[in-house]
Amino acid sequence: MPKYPFKTRIARVPQEPFRGFNHKRQKRLGTAANPAIINVHTDARRDELLAICQENDWHCQISVNPDEQVNEQALDVLKNYPTTTRFAPKPDRNEPCSCGSGKKYKKCCGLG
């Protein structure tokens, strides 16, 4: 028998099969799993929206019903989808400064 028996036991790892994966995430709008639902009054407008959706490879369910209120909010969300903002890379310390002084970046604008 060892002097410290608690140090010789193998610790059990808790069973968490899906710890790092989000199963309840929201599906992206305009895909086959979550199509955009649009209501319009006329067939002409339906054809216009259908052409826009096919041009951008969006999945849409467009229903024509003159009695219901026009609902094109899903299409507005797809048109104005946010893009990632990209910034210009910061110059290295020993490169010339971007302000045009002729000094190295570390001696001019890189002080701080």
* Rounded average pLDDT per 10-residue block, the chain, 112 residues: 64 66 80 92 94 93 91 90 87 87 87 68
pLDDT at 92: 87
pLDDT at 45: 94
DSSP 25: P
Residue with tokens 């319009």: 40
Amino acid (one-letter) located at 81: Y
Three-state DSSP at 5 gives: helix
Cβ atoms of 40 and 52 within 8 Å: the answer is: no
